[in-house]
Amino acid sequence: MTDIARFEQAQKDVQTLDRKPSNDDLLFLYAHFKQGSEGDVSGKRPGMLDVVKRAKYDAWAKLKGLDADAAKQKYIEKVDALLVSHKG
Protein backbone atom coordinates (compact mmCIF):
# COMPACT_ATOMS: atom_id res chain seq x y z
CA MET A 1 0.00 0.00 0.00
CA THR A 2 1.37 3.43 -0.88
CA ASP A 3 1.94 6.09 1.74
CA ILE A 4 -0.98 8.10 0.37
CA ALA A 5 -3.27 5.08 0.53
CA ARG A 6 -2.09 4.29 4.09
CA PHE A 7 -2.76 7.91 5.12
CA GLU A 8 -6.25 7.80 3.60
CA GLN A 9 -6.94 4.43 5.23
CA ALA A 10 -5.83 5.80 8.61
CA GLN A 11 -8.34 8.64 8.20
CA LYS A 12 -11.08 6.04 7.74
CA ASP A 13 -9.80 3.76 10.50
CA VAL A 14 -9.82 6.50 13.13
CA GLN A 15 -13.58 6.81 12.60
CA THR A 16 -14.06 3.18 13.71
CA LEU A 17 -12.72 3.61 17.25
CA ASP A 18 -15.03 2.36 19.98
CA ARG A 19 -14.37 5.35 22.21
CA LYS A 20 -13.23 8.92 21.73
CA PRO A 21 -9.47 9.50 22.04
CA SER A 22 -8.14 11.88 24.68
CA ASN A 23 -7.91 15.58 23.90
CA ASP A 24 -4.12 15.25 23.62
CA ASP A 25 -4.50 12.43 21.09
CA LEU A 26 -7.10 14.42 19.16
CA LEU A 27 -4.79 17.45 18.99
CA PHE A 28 -1.93 15.21 17.87
CA LEU A 29 -4.07 13.73 15.11
CA TYR A 30 -5.39 17.12 14.02
CA ALA A 31 -1.96 18.76 13.90
CA HIS A 32 -0.28 15.90 12.05
CA PHE A 33 -3.17 15.58 9.61
CA LYS A 34 -3.02 19.30 8.80
CA GLN A 35 0.79 19.31 8.54
CA GLY A 36 0.69 16.25 6.31
CA SER A 37 -2.01 17.55 4.03
CA GLU A 38 -1.48 21.33 4.02
CA GLY A 39 2.05 21.97 5.28
CA ASP A 40 3.01 24.65 7.79
CA VAL A 41 0.30 26.46 9.71
CA SER A 42 -1.20 29.49 8.02
CA GLY A 43 -3.57 32.25 8.98
CA LYS A 44 -3.95 34.25 12.11
CA ARG A 45 -3.86 32.67 15.57
CA PRO A 46 -7.39 32.59 17.05
CA GLY A 47 -8.15 34.81 20.03
CA MET A 48 -8.01 33.79 23.68
CA LEU A 49 -11.74 33.26 23.92
CA ASP A 50 -11.80 30.62 21.19
CA VAL A 51 -10.05 27.99 23.27
CA VAL A 52 -10.59 25.01 20.95
CA LYS A 53 -9.48 26.70 17.73
CA ARG A 54 -6.52 28.24 19.53
CA ALA A 55 -5.41 24.84 20.88
CA LYS A 56 -5.67 23.33 17.38
CA TYR A 57 -3.72 26.20 15.85
CA ASP A 58 -1.00 25.97 18.51
CA ALA A 59 -0.67 22.19 18.12
CA TRP A 60 -0.29 22.59 14.37
CA ALA A 61 2.13 25.52 14.73
CA LYS A 62 4.47 23.35 16.85
CA LEU A 63 5.01 21.16 13.78
CA LYS A 64 6.31 24.02 11.61
CA GLY A 65 9.02 22.72 9.32
CA LEU A 66 8.09 19.04 9.72
CA ASP A 67 8.13 17.27 6.36
CA ALA A 68 4.65 16.33 5.10
CA ASP A 69 5.62 12.67 4.67
CA ALA A 70 6.96 12.51 8.24
CA ALA A 71 3.73 14.09 9.55
CA LYS A 72 1.65 11.56 7.61
CA GLN A 73 3.75 8.69 8.98
CA LYS A 74 3.32 9.90 12.57
CA TYR A 75 -0.44 10.25 11.96
CA ILE A 76 -0.61 6.67 10.66
CA GLU A 77 1.39 5.36 13.62
CA LYS A 78 -0.86 7.18 16.11
CA VAL A 79 -4.01 5.80 14.47
CA ASP A 80 -2.53 2.29 14.54
CA ALA A 81 -1.76 2.68 18.26
CA LEU A 82 -5.26 3.99 18.97
CA LEU A 83 -6.82 1.10 17.07
CA VAL A 84 -5.02 -1.31 19.41
CA SER A 85 -5.88 0.55 22.62
CA HIS A 86 -9.38 1.85 21.79
CA LYS A 87 -11.08 -1.11 20.14
CA GLY A 88 -12.79 -3.80 22.08
Please, where are the H alpha helices in 1-88? 3-13, 23-38, 51-61, 68-86
Say if pTM beats, i.e. exceeds, 0.85: yes
Taking the CB of residue 60, how many other CB atoms lie within 10 A of it? 22
Q: How does pLDDT run across 28-69, given as a tens digit for each residue? A: 999 999 999 999 999 999 999 999 999 999 999 999 999 999
Residue 61 CB burial class (10 angstroms; 0-12, 13-18, ≥19): middle
From the list 65, 6, 4, 81, the residue with the least C-alpha distance to 31 is 65
Taking the CB of residue 26, how many other CB atoms lie within 10 A of it? 15
